[in-house]
Amino acid sequence: MKKYNITVNGNTYEVFVEEADATSAPVVAPVASAPVATPVAQPKPAAPKAPVSTGSQGGTKVTAPMPGTILEVKVAAGTAVKKGDVICVLEAMKMENEIPAPADGVVASVNVQKGASVNAGDVIATLN
């Protein structure tokens, strides 16, 4: 028998698998006698930080193009930005990506903070 740890939907299970030689037919055990996988205790991940909004919402949304972690926030609410100015730096797949302002405006709100995890489409900031 071989022992494996399998993770399904964040739960880790310890399972034992019996090796069979190539000439034998597969053996199907009745459901009642099938071994039950037992969860292995593991530490719980830290709860994600809630987004921090710093003011009212603006009309133009700056969204995350991909999932990642915010490394640096370059603007604050009330900052005037031009199209292409860097709003924040997003780390995704071990690469740093600068997230630019999509248009000229004033930052109405910053909805993330340094170290926050974001998914694709999450609002990073809004502009007026």
Q: Is 40 helix (H, G, I), strand (E, B) or coil?
A: coil
* pLDDT confidence bin for 119, thresholds 50/70/90: very high
Q: What is the pLDDT of residues 53-106, one digit of tens each?
A: 444 566 889 999 999 999 999 999 999 999 999 999 999 988 999 999 999 999
pLDDT at residue 66 in the model: 93
Q: HEC string of 53-121?
A: CCCCCCCEEEECCCCEEEEEECCCCCCEECCCCEEEEEEECCEEEEEECCCCEEEEEECCCCCCEECCC
Regarding pTM above 0.85, the answer is no
pLDDT at residue 53 in the model: 47
pLDDT at 2 over 90: no
Residue 109 CA to residue 128 CA, distance in Å, equals: 9
* pLDDT confidence bin for 23, thresholds 50/70/90: low
* pLDDT confidence bin for 27, thresholds 50/70/90: low
Q: Is 49 helix (H, G, I), strand (E, B) or coil?
A: coil
Q: State the chain's mean pLDDT as an integer.
A: 81
For the record, the structure tokens of 52 come out as 């921090």
CA dihedral 84, 87, 88, 90 (to 10 degrees): -50
CB 108 within 8 A of CB 54: no
